[in-house]
Amino acid sequence: MSPAAVHEYFAGLQKRFVSALEGLDSPFRKDSWTRAEGGGGTSCILEEGKVFERGGVNLSRVQGKALPPSASAARPQLAGRSYDAMGVSLVLHPRNPYCPTAHMNVRFFSAGDT
């Protein structure tokens, strides 16, 4: 699967999570950002909702022309390769103290073929 296809899937995943949660609670505040070196993302934040005290469903993508030395120290064959890293993170803090906080991260990393 190509990085573009993964990013499209992750963007759809974020939209599905936000839509389902808005069906239970208040609307999310959305803020998009870009990264000059490549990439960007969208943060979706819920505060002071009926069910959730605070929550976030975030999508990020970071691209670069060359991996930093610290990223290729254990795998020198990757030194200098381009990279594409992305993920969806979800954090929910319910108002009910008997309900657990939820944390989830789904990530994808590609080096060399971006």
**Is 103 labeled as catalytic in the residue annotation?**
yes
Smallest CA-to-CA distance from 28 within 10, 41, 42, 38 is with 42
pTM of the predicted structure, to 2 decimals:
0.88
User: Tens of pLDDT along 1-60?
Assistant: 899 999 999 999 999 999 999 999 999 999 999 999 999 999 999 999 999 999 999 999
**For residue 110, is pLDDT > 80?**
yes
Give how far the C-alpha of residue 104 lies from the chain's centroid of Cα atoms, to the nearest Å.
10
Q: Bridge-partner residues for 29, per DSSP? A: 45
User: Tens of pLDDT along 57-105?
Assistant: 999 999 999 998 888 888 888 888 999 999 999 999 999 999 999 999 9
- Looking at 3.40.1500.10, 2.60.120.560, 3.90.1150.10, 3.40.50.300, the CATH number of the domain 3-111 comes to 3.40.1500.10
Q: Bridge-partner residues for 42, per DSSP? A: 32, 59
Query: What is the sign of the dihedral through the CA atoms of 3, 5, 8 and 13?
Result: negative
**For residue 113, is pLDDT > 90?**
no
pLDDT of residue 92: 98
Catalytic residue among 30, 95, 103, 107: 103
pLDDT of residue 72: 86
Distances from the Cα of 1 to the Cα of 80, 87, 109, 110, 114, angstroms: 23, 15, 12, 11, 12
